Every structure is written in structure tokens, then in C-alpha cells.
Structure 1
Amino acid sequence: MALYVFLLSWKVNWLSFLTILMLVAGFIKYAERIWVMRLANCGPSTPSSRKPVAEPTIEEEALGLFKYFIDLFRNQKVIHARALSGHFDSTFHGWKVIEVELGYAYDAYYTKAPLFFTAWGFIFRFLSFTSIFSVSVLFHLKERQNHSVIDVIITYLLLAGAIFIEVYAAILLSASDWPWPEYEGLMELLQTKFAPIRKHCAKLITSNQRWSNSIGQLNLLSFALKDKSDQVGRGTPKLFANMRDWVFNQILSKLDRELEMLLYSNHKQVSPQLKDLVYNMFLEKLSSNTNKFSLEYGNYFPMGIGNVEIYERIMIWHIATDLCFYTDSGANDPINKLRREVSKDVSDYMMYIIVMYPFVLSTGNAIVSFENTCAKVEEKFQAKKLLTPRTANACAMLISEFENPPTKNLLLADSPLPLAFQVARTLNQMDEKWEILSKFWVENLAYVATLCQGNIHAQLLSKGGEFLTHVWFLLEHFDLTESFKKS
């Protein structure tokens, strides 16, 4: 189409000849795009390794491991020795290597880095930039006086924008961990001299973080009760608090359900304590060499309840965790306090995953179950004439359910609430409940991570990355995916 328009408007003048240069730049852009999409579709090539060094950096170490595991994102099995699990000398080191490897995966699937860091990539970038820059200079010298002021201004703006995009893209790509190719002689000297300038420019326009290091949070009870106190913070003046409540209860409640879910979710940083707990539990699983969960969590259900879907299990234990969390501060035991906070964080994260990304489970209808459960919660509190209680108060009220256990066998029916009460009732009678809950959430986090296929994890990278993907990739390095697939 561009060529067709160009031929129709051809005139033997400078403007037409300048258009040819712009067509060259545009052709290079789309040729690069098609090339890298083709590479990703066929299996992206891994970056070339540098010369071996005595003490490799984290980036160099991650590059060596990434070559083993890149095919996982295409749902292919990889052959790797369990000895790779001893490759990490600390929790921090292990998570950092995983982070860099996923950065390589993002570059391979969503950027032009595999082409940019090649001889052809440098040639294409040079031709594209010089074409646009030459058009800018020649237009200023030969053509600007032949057109109206408004047309000249628009043309300058477009050319300036094109040059800016070229420079910005080059700096952004050069800030990647993707290794630069090996050169010798003059090119090696130039690359060495250019490296500090490149890194300084990259720091000015990019973040030092490779991903957000955050997890989404969505609480079922807070959503059902329209309680935004956890999201907006405490200490709000009464006038603004009342206005906030009116907005969320009267306006946002009438919005589309998916948008409403988005508004009632938030994000928080992944704590080092959570990473330590996950990492150490994986090491324990590795040493135990067992293919099952550490506890039979189905025993916390009453007799007669068989297997439940994974999203139903998460909702049951999510509500039970809330009931325990808001009625027990963890006493004065620092370990229990830590487990309590971690359990709450992972519980809300798992609810966020099954509601926002239900496709990762590859089974069941999580959204329908979530909405049915929210409706049951709303009905329960409407019956009590309490339309918008705070989540903490609601959990305290629901504790009364513990005092009257049902005489009949509980059935899942269309709501996990009765089973959640049963689990919370059982846990509240146990001193080690926070140890049990923390194990449950870490093991089910791993279980869901293995349910999610590699190509889905690759798609999540384009959305900023999920902690779930980091957990999955760490499991693959430990060769533990089969251990968590048998629930």
C-alpha cells in the first residue's frame, strides 16, 4: 500500500527522492519485526557465550543455564541433571539468576535483541538511522521553503519523533542483559570505550529492576463486602473516608464485573521472607525425594468430601486463612507472625491469579465459582442487616459459625463457605496452624505453577512478569515439577 501511494504521488523532485529514503527506513523496521517474530516462532536462538572466566557474573551464569531451559516456553521437555539444583549458593543468588534468565526469555520473545546484537542488526540500525537523519537534513536544506508553514512544522515533528524513537530503542536494547558479540582489534576497543556511556544512558531512561518484584492481591471477602480499607490505607480523614465509601459502594458496584475486580485488587512487594520460605521448602522437597504434598490437606475436610477442583480448594483455604488471620495475631512468636503474614500474602495472590488469569489453571470455571461465593457472602451479611462491614469485623462475626458445627455432612454445593468454616474451625484448635497454612500455600503455589504451561508463562512475561513464573522456573531448575503435580 505504501508503494502504491508512493507511485501515484511520484514527481521528479527532491520530495519524491526523500520519500525513497523513508521507505527504506520503514522497510527495514518491518523486516526486523518479521525476522524476530519468525525466530521466536521457530524457537528463539540463545545468545552466544563469551569466553569462559574464572568467576562468572550472575548474567554469564544465567546465560549458561538459559540455554538448557529456553525450550520450556514452547511446552517442550528439557533434559537436565538434578545437579543443576546445586548451582545456586544462596536464596538471593538463586532468585537473582532466575530473574536474569527470565529477562533473557522476555528479550527473546518480545524484543529485537536477538537481531540487534548481530552484525546484520547493527547494519540495519545504521541504515535506518542514517536514512531518517539524511531526510531531515536534506528536507531542511532543499524543501522547507517550498511548503506551507503548518506542513513544515508537522514534518519536522514527525522526523524528530522518528529520530528520537531510533535513539531510544537503541539505548533501551543496549541496556538489556543480552550479551554483546565478541569482537577483536579496533571493534573490541570501541565496544569497551562505549560500554560506560551506554550504561549511563540506559540508567537515565530505564529502571535498574528487571521486573516489578511484586505480587497481585485480591481478597474474596473484601471484594464481596466492598471493603477497600486495605487498598486505600488507614488514617484517612472521616469526610474523605465517607466519600471514598460512597464512590466504591454506589458507583463502582455498578461497573463491569471484570473492571470492578481490577479496582479491588492491588500489588505489594515480594518480601525476602516469602522468597526464603519458598526456596527452603523446595530444598526440603529435593532432599526428601517424595512426590506428594507434605500433608494430606483433604483430611481437614469432613468425611464424605472427595476431591475438589484446584480453584475450589484455593477459595476454601483462602477464606479459612482470612478467618484465622483476622482472629489471631500470631501471638508473640516471631516465626508464627512471619508465617501468618506470608500465608496471607500468598493466599491473596493465589486468589488474584485464579480471578485475573483463570486460564493458567487449564481446568474448571473459577470465575463462576468466585462470583457465586461472593453472592453467598453478600446474602449472609444482608440477612444480618450489615451491608458493608469491614473484612476484619466480618471475620469476627463469622467466627460464630465455628460454635455451631453442622450436624450433616457438608457438601461443596455452589459455595465453598461451609467447607472454609470447617477448615478454619479445625485449624483454630491447633497450635501449629500457621505452619500448616504456610506449607499449604507454598505447595499449592508450586502446584498451580506446574499446571500453567510454558507458553502461558511466556505470555505472562509480556504483562510484566508474575511471581508464579519465577516459582515455575525455579522448580524446573530443581527438577521438581513432577513432585508437585501429584496433589
Structure 2
Amino acid sequence: MGNIEILAEAKNLWMKFNVRGAILTSLSLQVFLIFLAPIRKRCSHRWILVLIWSAYLVADSVANYAFGLISRAQFAGGTSDSEADAYGDLLAFWAPFLLLHLGGPDTITAFALEDNELWRRHLLNLLFQLGAAGYVFYQSFPSSKLIVPTILVFIGGTIKYIERTRALYLASFSQFRGSLLPPADAGPNYPEVARQYHTTKMLRMLPEGQRHWSHVGAEDGNILDDRTAIKEAFFYFTTFKGLLVDLIFGFHEVADSYQFFRGRTAKDAFRVIEAELNFFYDVLYTKAAVIRCPTGYLFRAISIGSVVSAFASFYVLDKHDFHEYDIQITYTLLLGAIGLEFVGFVRLICSDWTIAKIAASEKEPGRSLIKGSIFIKFLLKFKSESSPFALHILNARWSKSIFQYNFLDTQLRKWPKWIEKLLGLIYLREFFDDLKFGRVEQYSEKLGELIFYELKRKASLRRTNEICASRGKWALEHTKSVENCQKLLPFVCDVDYGKSLLLWHIATELCYNTDESTNDHRKTSKVLSDYMLHLMIKQPDMMSAVAGIGQIRFRDTCAEADRFFDETIFDKRSACQNLLSVPTDLNPGFVKGDRSQSALFDACILAKELRKFHDKKWDIMSEVWVELLAYAAIHCQPFMHARQLSKGGELVTLVWLLMAQLGLSEQFQIKHGEVTAFAN
């Protein structure tokens, strides 16, 4: 019997410490997520994303596990009846805190877009955990000394969990798309129009453009201040949310956005686009859509008030029946809950949403313009990069990282054969290849200017279908360098997009390493070239609609380069010079036929043609690369762009949204007229 009692006591102690450990771990994960989760939209570092992903997955599991432990431990009690009752009361009080934790912080509801589609699972889990928490509470009712604080925390936890479930529901594809569908519109009354036309034989048409009310937040050419940039970003976010779900827009939306962006500088245009994507991120991955409305504010006030009241109620309570250690844990949970609510409240106030809504309401009658302006100035100063209260990584709206992947690097810096085989056996070759060959360039204003002015030049022509379908042809035919580029056209017109991208990438590399030009476009062409190859090889999902067999062609090209560089190791310059020295009078396609998809020596031919333009070749190449980037951006599925928002963002996503704002998108259906009146 003695041994049995010892084992029972040991099991009892283990259960107690296990419950405490699980609850404190759950709280720690919530603290981690509320501070680090927002960083993922501004940081593309793989290890940070893995940490956030791990915490996101483990947080729910730990909370559910703790619920199970509490249900079991509630019957274990302590060594005396009074101790058992006190411990049972604490267990009933701790259970609602797990509802708070399952509700999660405001900064993350979904780690990936696919998580939003699991809202039904979270709804079922909500009902189950509410039942479990209610059962635990029922076991201690009505004798519990902690009934009041338990009920208060239960209210706050229920609200938080409902907020999360509703946020997932609103961000799910079907619901998000359904919420953006316009009201049903039967159009003009056709029978009436037909009868009147039969009588009068005349009708008057009013072009839609004349009916358009233009929204322009600043005079053309003026530099946008931070408040105006955020306000305009919010306006266009509300206008173009449907881009994410393939909705079609009319003439007035594109006319308005084009009118606004055509007079902006590249820096201001990208500032607006960055802020707009930040709003997209918030509605898809956070609780923004739920809490940033009158009902959301009300329930958030109730939630905060419940937790604070629970703390006050527990503080004045006579706690002589409880262990000191349990009292400390309870205070930790209460202070942790209050701290999480306070941080969430500060983020709610100090956000772009608050600035945008206050700025937008300044034109409404009866609003206090002075108070609103002062508050906005305070928020902008607090959020500025020069503020001592925040770091750049906490204020940036995307990572500004442009990933690079280079063909020659993969050939001249290869692993030894035995290491390649070892990595292949343990399925880690791709991972270590990314570490060895992957590079990151930071987004520069010069690159932004090149992209913006090229897109704006195309948008001014109002030939949307032609521009969207062009992948280098238009750039070569309308190059600003006013050069005859007819001999370059076959390298974009007579090949598919994937081969064209690889041809221009290798040609850019050959020219870059054999030319010391100081032309600004030399560097930007190189950055765009390596970035586009990275998208095709390392993010094929984003290029699947345009790249075709790009990866197969890349491997065949690498195989041919292996054979060419087999005997001697060259540096980049020597390798390029050796490639350019190969006679290319014979078309490589005649030699290879369909056996190999290699584009190595076709690229050498292209490079030789480009070198004939001397320094102007960099202007030509930069324009072609912008068009190749734009083609990939506009033909990538919006779903794929939305996925990248939670991984630090991508330049191609910014270009996609900018093109849409300039009207360079197939999602605009322009109607030129509508029957409005009849004339006798």
C-alpha cells in the first residue's frame, strides 16, 4: 500500500506541475506571436519565418493540451478537502485564459492563406472548447470563491476566440469574394428603351468618362506627405480589393487611379503601393477586418474591461487557501492577459488604419480638424524610421529584399561531386544550394524609377491588351534609345517566355562581366535579370502561367555549361570571354533539334548582337527586363501574389498592383457609353 500511495502522490504532483507548465508555455507563445508575427511581412529571412510558423502551430496544440490536463487534474485535488477545493477553483479560473490564448493575438490569425479556409474547423473547436471550459467551471460551481473573475475572463476569452474564427471566415476565398460582389444590376429597361426608340428613332449616349467623379488626393507633381500617402492607399485599397479574387472593374476606377499615379514620382507611387499592400495583408492574415469596425471596437472594449475587472476582483480576494506558487502563476496569467490586451490596443491605435480613417473623416462636417491633425502627426512621428521608439524593421511595409539567382554562379561555384551525392542522399541538396547560391539585393530608388516610368510610358498609350501581351517586343520596338532592334526581336517573339527569360539572363551576364560601363542601367539590368531567374527556378508557382518548361530548359542549359566548363575552372570574366569566343555562325537549334532544350549558345548569339549597341545596350536591356517582369506580374494568379505578403513581400507583387492602378490589367472592362436620355 505504501508504494501505491507514493506512486499516486507522484502522479498527482506531476499532473499539477504539468498543468502549470502547459498554461505558462501557452502564455509565452502568445507573447512571442504578438511581437514577432508582424515582422514576417517585412522580413524574408527563412529562419524567422520558420520560428513564427512553429510558434503558430504549437500555440493551439499547447492550449488544447492544457485544456485536457485541467479536465483530468480537476478531480485529483490535493492532500486535504480545503486544498482540493482551492485547487479546483484555480483550475476553473485558469481554463478561460486558454480561450484567450486560443483567440490568438490580433497580429496573426492565419499563417498562410490556406489557413483561412479552415475556419469551419476553428468554429467546431470553438464550440468544443467553450463546452470544455463551461464543464470545468460547472465542477466548481457554486462553491467557488473565484466565480466572478472566472466569469469575467470567460467573457473576454469567448470574445477573442470568436474574433479569430470570424476573421478566418471573412478572409476565406468564397466569403471574401462574396463580400465584394456588387449589387445585382438589371441595367436599363430594355422594353421601354426599345419602345421609345421605335417611336423616336433617336437616343443620346453619354460617355462614361463624363460621368466620372475624380478622386485625386494631391495636385499633380506635389510630393505626398505620409498622411496623404496612407489616406490614398486606403482609398485605393477599398476600391481594388477585388483584384485578389479576379473581379472585373469598370472605367471610372482605372481612370481615377491612372489620373492619380500619372502625376506622382516613382518614390511616392511605390509608397502608396506599399501601404496599400499592407492593408491587403491585414485583412487576409490578421483580425483587422473584425476589430476595425464599430462592433469590433465595442467588443474589444468589453474584452479589455473583462480582463482588467478580473484582475481587480482577484486582487481584493482573500487568497489564504491558495498556495503562494499558484497565486504567482495566476497573477502572471492576469498580467500577461492585460499586457497582451494593452499591446493589441496600442497597435490598434498606432496603425495605418487609424491614420487613414481620421484623415478621410477630416472632410466630414462636424469633425475636429485640429485634434485629428495633431493626433495623426503624433502617430506618424512615432512610426517614422527616425523615431527612437521603433526600429526600421518594425516600420517597413515590406522586406525590400530582391532575391538573386545567377546561372554562372551555379556553374562556377559548384559543390564537389562527393558532396553533391551526399546532399542528394539526405534530400538536402536544394536547401544547401539556396544557402550557397542565393543572394539578396536591396530595393533601390533607381530601380523603382526605372520600373515606374516604363510602366507609366506604356499606360499613357491606353493600349492595354497589347501592352499586357507584350514580353519584350514592345520595348524593342519603342526603345527610348531610338535604336533599330529588329535583329533582337526573334529572341522575344520566336521563343516562349521561359526560353526568352533564360536567353536574356545569360546574355545580360555575358555583357555585364565583359563591360565596365558606368551606365546606371547596367546594375539595374543585372538585378532584374538575377531576380527573374530566381522567380523561375526557386518560385515556379509564381511563374507557372508563363514559364512553361523553364526549369527543364535551365537544367539542360546547366548540363551543356558543365560540359563546356569541365576541363578548367574559370572566373566569371574568363568564363564569359570563353563563351563569347565560340563561333556561332551555325544555328544551335539545327545541331540540337528537340533532343536538348539548352539555350546556352543561343544566348551567346544574343549577347554578341547586344554588344553591337555598345553602351546603349544597357538602356535596351533594362527596358526589356522591365517588360519581362511586368508580363510575369500581370499573368501571375492574384492568389500567388497574396501568398507572398506573409513572406516579406515580392517586387513582382508591387509591380502587379502598380500595373493594375495604371490600368495595365486585363481585369478592367471599359465601357464607353450608356443610354441616358432620348431626343426628339
TM-score tier after normalising by the smaller chain length: 0.7 to 0.9
Give, in angstroms, the shift of residue 323 of structure 1.
0.9
Q: In the alignment, what sits opposite 1:14?
A: 145
Structure 1 residues 259, 151: CA separation in 2 closer, same or farther (over 3 Å shift)? farther
The amino acid across from 1:5 in the alignment is A
Structure 1 residues 213, 226: CA separation in 2 closer, same or farther (over 3 Å shift)? same
Q: In the alignment, what sits opposite 1:283?
A: 456
Q: In the alignment, what sits opposite 1:339?
A: 521
Q: In the alignment, what sits opposite 1:231?
A: none
SS of corresponding position for 1:57: helix
Structure 1 residues 190, 409: CA separation in 2 closer, same or farther (over 3 Å shift)? closer
**Structure 1 residues without counterparts, runs of 5 or longer:** 229-244
Q: In the alignment, what sits opposite 1:351?
A: 533
Give, in angstroms, the shift of residue 393 of structure 1.
4.1
Question: Aligned ranges for residues 59-458 of structure 1 at < 5 Å?
Answer: 59-81=230-252, 83-84=255-256, 85-88=258-261, 89=263, 90-142=265-317, 145-178=320-353, 179-180=356-357, 204-205=389-390, 207-226=394-413, 256-263=428-435, 264-290=437-463, 291=466, 292=470, 293-295=474-476, 300=488, 307-330=494-517, 334=518, 337-363=519-545, 364-381=548-565, 383-386=566-569, 389-401=570-582, 403=583, 405-406=585-586, 409-410=589-590, 411=593, 413-431=596-614, 432-458=616-642
Aligned equivalents of 1:300, 1:308: Cα separation in 2:
12
Superposed CA RMSD: 3.9
**Structure 2 residues without counterparts, runs of 5 or longer:** 1-127, 181-214, 220-226, 478-484, 668-680
Is the Cα contact below 8 Å between 2:634 and 2:656 reproduced in 1?
Answer: yes
Q: Deviations over 1:447-484 (max 9, x none)?
A: 0011112222222222222111111112112212359x
Determine what percentage of the aligned residue pairs are the same residue.
31
Is the Cα contact below 8 Å between 1:301 and 1:419 reproduced in 2?
Answer: no
Q: In the alignment, what sits opposite 2:37?
A: none
Structure 1 residues 71, 210: CA separation in 2 closer, same or farther (over 3 Å shift)? same
Using the size of structure 2 for normalisation, the TM-score is 0.59
Q: In the alignment, what sits opposite 1:3?
A: 130
Q: In the alignment, what sits opposite 1:33?
A: 164
Using the size of structure 1 for normalisation, the TM-score is 0.79
Aligned equivalents of 1:409, 1:294: Cα separation in 2:
26
Structure 1 residues 127, 366: CA separation in 2 closer, same or farther (over 3 Å shift)? farther
Structure 1 residues 17, 376: CA separation in 2 closer, same or farther (over 3 Å shift)? farther
Give, in angstroms, the shift of residue 177 of structure 1.
1.7
Structure 1 residues 370, 153: CA separation in 2 closer, same or farther (over 3 Å shift)? farther
Give, in angstroms, the shift of residue 320 of structure 1.
1.4
Of the structure 1 ranges 193-202 and 62-71, higher mean CA displacement relative to structure 2 is found in 193-202
Is the Cα contact below 8 Å between 2:404 and 2:531 reproduced in 1?
Answer: yes
SS of corresponding position for 1:62: helix
Give, in angstroms, the shift of residue 446 of structure 1.
0.5
Which has the higher Rg, Structure 1 or Structure 2? Answer: 2
Question: Aligned ranges for residues 39-58 of structure 1 at < 5 Å?
Answer: 39-41=170-172, 42-43=175-176, 57-58=228-229
The amino acid across from 2:598 in the alignment is S
Aligned equivalents of 1:372, 1:8: Cα separation in 2:
64
Is the Cα contact below 8 Å between 1:36 and 1:112 reproduced in 2?
Answer: yes
The amino acid across from 2:278 in the alignment is G
Q: Deviations over 1:15-47 (max 9, x none)?
A: 45433333222221121123233333433879x
Structure 1 residues 409, 352: CA separation in 2 closer, same or farther (over 3 Å shift)? closer
Give, in angstroms, the shift of residue 313 of structure 1.
2.1
Aligned equivalents of 1:220, 1:144: Cα separation in 2:
70
SS of corresponding position for 1:314: helix
Q: In the alignment, what sits opposite 1:233?
A: none
Structure 1 residues 16, 260: CA separation in 2 closer, same or farther (over 3 Å shift)? farther
1:460 aligns with 2:648: no
Q: In the alignment, what sits opposite 2:17?
A: none
SS of corresponding position for 1:142: coil
Structure 1 residues 199, 289: CA separation in 2 closer, same or farther (over 3 Å shift)? closer
Aligned equivalents of 2:370, 2:453: Cα separation in 1:
44
Of the structure 1 ranges 468-477 and 251-260, higher mean CA displacement relative to structure 2 is found in 251-260
